[in-house]
Chains A and B, each alone.
Chain A
Amino acid sequence: MSDLNNMTAAESAATKAAIMNQVPGSEIEGQSPLHHADFASLAQQGPKTGGIHLREHKLLGHLTLRCNAENAEQLAAVERVLGVALPLQPLSSVESGNYSIRWMSPDEWLILVPGLETFEIETKFRDAMPGHYSLVNSSGGSTVLELSGDNAVTLLQKATSVDLHLNSFPVGKVVSTLFAKSTATIRRIDEQRFELVIRRSFSDYIWLWIQDASLEYGLVIEA
């Protein structure tokens, strides 16, 4: 399939699923869910020290893959496309170059890739993947926050009832859970560093919440 972006209905029927390059040309700037918060200015003008550091990894490609973890052909195909195997261990993740994969549920993974590679990877999947699966581009629906600092764990303790002790939440672990009154997919990338995948529509709430809960420690915005 060379020209999926301009697929006719018949072609779409042949591929069984409709995919499209959803990213316009570079002349059009994408607005991440926290665009209005203007992290770039906050990073310049805001405090430089504090117990909580916050950064947005915006406009990444978010692909949700649902397939059969026991289907060896599917697993092999994923590895061919991404160059890295799906993490099959519950609540785990893998990272390879610019790609990271989070285990979401027994038949679901979230694959994060550079935004401009999204369509290419989708296309490769459609060519390579056998059997019953679904691959959904959800890039517009979420964003990634990186939360770090001396008080990062404490801040997260306020937001979620998951045990964050290193013994039970080691580096690489992924948990999708409540975050205050919203949700987040939390992944530990270092002892005091976490990535949160949050939903677009809740992102302003979470941003407000983090500001409020950080008051005790000081909040540093990075960009």
Chain B
Amino acid sequence: MTQQNRLTSGGRIDRSTPLTFTYNGKQYKGFKGDTLASAMLANGIDVVARSFKYSRPRGIVACGAEEPNAVLQLGATEATQVPNVRATQQELFNGLVSASTNGWPSVDTDVMGMIGKVGGNMMPPGFYYKTFMFPESLWDTYESMIRKAAGIGRAPRERDPDTYDSINQHCDVMIVGAGPAGLAAALTAARGGARVIIADEQNEFGGSLLNGTEKLDGKPASEWVRAVVEELSRYDDVLLLPRSTVNGYHDHNFLTIHERCTDHLADIAPVNQVRQRMHRVRAKWVVLATGAHERPLVYANNDVPGCMVAGAVSTYINRYGVVPGNELVVMTTNDYGYQAALDWADAGRKVVAIVDTREAAVGDRTEAARQRGLNIISGSAVIEVQGTKRVTGVSVAGLSASGTKVIGSVTKLKADTVATSGGWSPVIHLSCHTGSRPVWSDSVVGFLPGATVQKQLTAGGINGQYETAIALQEGFDAGQKALAEVGLAAANVVLPETEAMKVAAPMSLFHIPHLKPTSQAPKQFVDYQTDVTAAGIEIACREGFEAIEHVKRYTAMGFGTDQGKLGNINGMAVAAKALNKSIPETGTTVFRPNYTPIAFGAIIGRNCGALFEPERYTAMHKWHVQQGALFEDVGQWKRPWYFPQAGETMQQTLNRECLAVRNSVGILDASTLGKIDIQGKDAREFLGRVYSNAWAKLAVGKCRYGLMCGEDGMVFDDGVTACLGENHFVMTTTTGGAAHVYEWLEIYHQTEWPELEVYFNTVTDHWSTATITGPNSRKLLAELTDADVTNDDFRYMDWKQITVAGVPARVFRISFTGELSFEINVQANYGMHVWEKLIEAGAKYGLTPYGTETMHILRAEKGFIIAGQDTDGSVHPYDLGMGWCVSNQKPFSYIGKRGMNRSDCTRENRKQLVGLKTKDPKQVIPEGSAAVLDPKGPKPLEIQGHISSSYWSETLGHSIAMGFIKGGLDKMGETVYYPMADGTVIEAEICSPIFFDPKGERQNV
């Protein structure tokens, strides 16, 4: 394939490094330094997409982030698919594989073409609202149809092989944009000693200076750029970020930057390299030097491939050595449009005409064109383009002085490229992100950044200043201002000499009239990506949508992935004309983050896969893994769920584990329970205030169970607290509630009772806990300690400091299974040692490791609650039948006392926790099932409560359940019903939740 549009010299490409790429299955050549778009244009590729609604062929229009059409799918493999890539921003690399996204079987021969045209007629503005909302039931059908027709790319179906990163940055001055203004600001700030970050979305710094033929200090501007970049890179405190788009500007000068680290190298990042990186920047001052986007004009058939913005034509010629056509017609409302014609002529191709909408304009660029003998047609416009897959000619006609009417006859000219310039739109997006409303400027013919609450400065094109000399000066001024604001002395910078250009006043014109009324003229596109036409906007206005935000929603203008960068201002102008208002009167246009689409990978960074969420491990975790435990997530902890043996079903495992505990001895890793060390003379008093029960008389060496309630009287956590010393306690909490309880204690201490002398420290990770439980647990413990652990010397609810397996330990004789139990706590560095010794010594007793599931069954057999499972923030201790755990004798109140004495909490018929025994002992009621009194009664059935815990009890040979029933504590022996989704009904009898050993004899032996 030849690159028929490639110039033999010039541009910033490296002709010695040819690259091969694929577009829609065909191979093409380009050069290092190309963007995908410039390489496509070099190869004469005209059609890069089919339009979303009308399925019209579309070509490349622009050369940067504003490109609406060349939005391609990239990726050589399924796993490396990337949607929404603007070919104008994607650097070419060898082996790049790209494809157009909407157009099947190909953009050149689109079978959707005809359908699309029919569809287009059927899809007037407001189509979605008018058609698809009714009947609502059909929306799913419509949606899939629209999606298939519309799609702008797709996500990969396989795991992305690349890694993504995020990093935090801090600086004095964050400069957005490395064109003349940004570079001048950066140079000034850096020389002044500031910490500077300068980011630019392009592969190299320089911005507009790289796109033209301008000279600085009499030399090509790129030489000044090189010198500045070289100097900047020498400062330790300056961070240069090319290929980095500042995509979001958030509160407090927090900015997010999307850096494409290796997207320019290959389909997959080189080994160990990151593909993209998000920089999270906290800047003291921000300088926005984001430049401006050239506005195309709106004219009939302005979407035919070959219609481009004028500046892009210059850029392709000067920067990439590509002339995107042979015969050029320029249409412009300002002097800058002439530059495209001058560059085109310099490239040796034919300039058919420069059509200037102004009657007479005298500036340096217009004069240069005149001197070159280029055909200038004044006071006229290109009112229509001929061609479908490529421009073949244009119709030119005279315009009225206001530009609202066609006057005079129509001349047809042969051309394959139309470059238009309707002036420039300052890139105010980031300024808008902060909530600042932009302000219309008649002289700039565009919106400028509005008042801001941020520490923000602006320089250059964003201010509507398009001459290099002014951009440089504004950048310099912004740099000095930022230096002063951060307390640094002014810097010494001499700006380069520029070629002063005289510029004639531009004409404020957006929408080129046609011989026919807009509604009957060929389509005049405003927003290419969402196929919004001038006629469509007029219809919206006619139908009563007068505010521009309503017009946008009705027509979908600006709703594409390009956010209407090219089209929004033109659309506002069309609406303003239709409503006979000025542009600012129709409203302003604002933008939200992100400025350009970002891959999800870059947003998630390395917080995916194994690092998605921290996994917290106990000191014995490795042992559990080696034993083949399955794990349950409890908060961030990985707790063994159960320990299956070969060939066992889960239920078989649970049965085995439960019986082992009831008949001999089992072992549980209880290290994850929250543990809080409490010291101070008022520790006991504090406990009495945060727990519902009494603590005044708990002796040293004793443990007690406590319930913790919120101010509303509802239970939120529970656990055992031991008195270690007169002023020293250790509290245990639920695994998931530990952090909250610790915070709760600190908050109450710091804000309500700072006079109490008490300190809290978390010791959850410090102690490792092995719980041995079952009738043989004492024998096992006795084998590993010299201490007396008989029932006489070590009573139920005592704790002892003894040595276990050679390791100093605190052993708590407390029980969550109802069996004789010992919770052995040792410093976690020795947890594995003690665990392994227990396992070794326990073999003769058939010591059986068990996990959380068996733990749940065993405790449910005993009617012990699990906070968070049998409580849900709406139950107080009395609802749980745990009034015994509330003391109203305390001199000081306790948290929740008033709450649980509110009238609603003391009324009759509250839902109360009871046990439920199924009529069919084999049936296990699903957790969450709702209880009713009469399943055959009139619907809706009144819900009496729900099941909170339900298991098969192998020990008892029948199912057991705990659940809530209205007034349940007074309904023992009554029957309730649980209707199932499949129509069956489970019948159950209300009973005590204590199914096993109701007198609690087993734990006291």
| B728 contacts A31, C-beta separation under 8 Å | no
| B830 contacts A134, C-beta separation under 8 Å | no
Instruction: Report B135 CB to chain A, min CB distance, Å.
Output: 46
**Cα-based distance from A29 to B728 in the complex (angstroms):** 29
The answer, yes or no, to whether A192 is at the interface (CB within 8 Å) is: no
**CB-CB under 8 A for A139 and B168, given A16-B728, A201-B637:** no
The answer, yes or no, to whether B614 is at the interface (CB within 8 Å) is: yes
| A200 contacts B606, C-beta separation under 8 Å | no
**Cα-based distance from A79 to B280 in the complex (angstroms):** 42
Chain B residue numbers with a CB within 8 Å of A133 are 679, 759
The answer, yes or no, to whether B704 is at the interface (CB within 8 Å) is: no
Chain B residue numbers with a CB within 8 Å of A216 are 165, 272-274
| A199 contacts B765, C-beta separation under 8 Å | yes
Chain B residue numbers with a CB within 8 Å of A139 are 766, 827, 829
Chain A residue numbers with a CB within 8 Å of B619 are 31, 33, 140, 200
Chain B residue numbers with a CB within 8 Å of A137 are 766, 827
**Cα-based distance from A7 to B295 in the complex (angstroms):** 85
| A9 contacts B614, C-beta separation under 8 Å | no
**CB-CB under 8 A for A136 and B272, given A16-B728, A199-B765:** no
| B761 contacts A215, C-beta separation under 8 Å | no
**Cα-based distance from A202 to B614 in the complex (angstroms):** 7
Residue of B nearest to A199 (CB): B765
Residue of B nearest to A155 (CB): B167
| B806 contacts A140, C-beta separation under 8 Å | no
The answer, yes or no, to whether A93 is at the interface (CB within 8 Å) is: no
The answer, yes or no, to whether A5 is at the interface (CB within 8 Å) is: yes
CB under 8 Å from chain B, chain A span 1-23: 5, 7, 9-10, 12-18, 20-23
**CB-CB under 8 A for A138 and B766, given A22-B808, A215-B272:** yes
**CB-CB under 8 A for A136 and B830, given A12-B724, A158-B167, A165-B170:** no
Interface pick from A69-77, A94-102, A205-213: A205-213
Chain A residue numbers with a CB within 8 Å of B681 are 16, 132
The answer, yes or no, to whether A222 is at the interface (CB within 8 Å) is: no
CB under 8 Å from chain A, chain B span 156-212: 163, 165-170, 195
**Cα-based distance from A22 to B607 in the complex (angstroms):** 37
| A200 contacts B828, C-beta separation under 8 Å | yes
Residue of B nearest to A23 (CB): B827
| A141 contacts B766, C-beta separation under 8 Å | yes
Instruction: Report B515 CB to chain A, min CB distance, Å.
Output: 61
**CB-CB under 8 A for A31 and B832, given A157-B168, A157-B169, A213-B606:** yes
| B806 contacts A28, C-beta separation under 8 Å | yes
Which of the listed residues A23, A24, A36 has the most CB atoms from chain B within 10 Å of its own CB? A24
| B274 contacts A181, C-beta separation under 8 Å | no
**Cα-based distance from A181 to B504 in the complex (angstroms):** 58
**Cα-based distance from A17 to B617 in the complex (angstroms):** 29
Q: Which of A21, A140, A182 contacts B829 (CB 8 A)?
A: A140
| B725 contacts A32, C-beta separation under 8 Å | no
**Cα-based distance from A162 to B759 in the complex (angstroms):** 28
Q: Which 7 A-B pairs have the closest CB atoms?
A: A141-B765, A141-B766, A140-B828, A134-B679, A30-B829, A134-B759, A201-B616
The answer, yes or no, to whether B227 is at the interface (CB within 8 Å) is: no
Count of chain A residues near B, Cβ 8 A: 65
Chain A residue numbers with a CB within 8 Å of B613 are 181
The answer, yes or no, to whether A148 is at the interface (CB within 8 Å) is: no
The answer, yes or no, to whether B826 is at the interface (CB within 8 Å) is: yes
Q: Which of A33, A180, A200 contacts B611 (CB 8 A)?
A: A180
Chain A residue numbers with a CB within 8 Å of B767 are 140-141
The answer, yes or no, to whether B927 is at the interface (CB within 8 Å) is: no
Chain A residue numbers with a CB within 8 Å of B808 are 5, 20-24
| B830 contacts A9, C-beta separation under 8 Å | no
Chain B residue numbers with a CB within 8 Å of A22 are 808, 826-827, 830
Chain B residue numbers with a CB within 8 Å of A162 are 168
The answer, yes or no, to whether B763 is at the interface (CB within 8 Å) is: yes
Residue interface mask B791-823, A partner, CB < 8 A = 1: 000000000010100111010000000000000
| A134 contacts B725, C-beta separation under 8 Å | no
The answer, yes or no, to whether A163 is at the interface (CB within 8 Å) is: yes
| B280 contacts A161, C-beta separation under 8 Å | yes
Chain A residue numbers with a CB within 8 Å of B827 are 22-23, 30, 137, 139-140
Residue of A nearest to B679 (CB): A134
Chain A residue numbers with a CB within 8 Å of B521 are none
| B761 contacts A138, C-beta separation under 8 Å | yes
Instruction: Report B95 CB to chain A, min CB distance, Å.
Output: 23
Which residues of B does A touch, CB under 8 Å?
163, 165-170, 195, 237, 272-274, 280, 282, 606-607, 610-611, 613-619, 621-622, 637, 672, 677, 679-681, 699-701, 724-728, 757, 759, 761-768, 801, 803, 806-808, 810, 826-833
**CB-CB under 8 A for A36 and B765, given A12-B724, A22-B808:** no
| B724 contacts A18, C-beta separation under 8 Å | yes
| A59 contacts B829, C-beta separation under 8 Å | yes
**CB-CB under 8 A for A31 and B833, given A9-B700, A212-B163:** yes
The answer, yes or no, to whether A64 is at the interface (CB within 8 Å) is: yes
Q: Which of A5, A24, A208 contacts B807 (CB 8 A)?
A: A24
**Cα-based distance from A196 to B622 in the complex (angstroms):** 24
| B166 contacts A17, C-beta separation under 8 Å | no
Instruction: Report A160 CB to chain B, min CB distance, Å.
Output: 7
Can you add 17 more A-B contacts, CB < 8 Å, to A9-B701, A181-B611? A12-B728, A22-B826, A24-B807, A31-B833, A66-B761, A132-B681, A134-B679, A134-B680, A138-B763, A141-B764, A141-B767, A161-B168, A181-B614, A182-B614, A201-B672, A202-B614, A205-B614
Residue interface mask A125-144, B partner, CB < 8 A = 1: 00000001111111111100
Which of the listed residues A12, A20, A59, A141 has the most CB atoms from chain B within 10 Å of its own CB? A141
Chain B residue numbers with a CB within 8 Å of A208 are 610-611
| A36 contacts B170, C-beta separation under 8 Å | no
**Cα-based distance from A215 to B767 in the complex (angstroms):** 34
Residue of A nearest to B277 (CB): A158
Residue of B nearest to A58 (CB): B829
Chain B residue numbers with a CB within 8 Å of A122 are none
Which of the listed residues B273, B607, B726, B762 has the most CB atoms from chain A within 10 Å of its own CB? B726
Instruction: Report B789 CB to chain A, min CB distance, Å.
Output: 16
Which of the listed residues B611, B680, B725 has the most CB atoms from chain A within 10 Å of its own CB? B725
Instruction: Report A2 CB to chain B, min CB distance, Å.
Output: 16
Chain B residue numbers with a CB within 8 Å of A138 are 761, 763, 765-766
| A30 contacts B614, C-beta separation under 8 Å | no
| B615 contacts A140, C-beta separation under 8 Å | no
**Cα-based distance from A160 to B291 in the complex (angstroms):** 33
Chain B residue numbers with a CB within 8 Å of A18 are 724-725, 728, 801
**Cα-based distance from A64 to B679 in the complex (angstroms):** 12
| 12 CB < 8 A contacts A-B | A9-B699, A9-B700, A13-B700, A13-B725, A17-B724, A17-B725, A18-B801, A23-B808, A28-B806, A30-B830, A199-B765, A205-B611
Instruction: Report B625 CB to chain A, min CB distance, Å.
Output: 9
| A201 contacts B830, C-beta separation under 8 Å | no
The answer, yes or no, to whether A146 is at the interface (CB within 8 Å) is: no
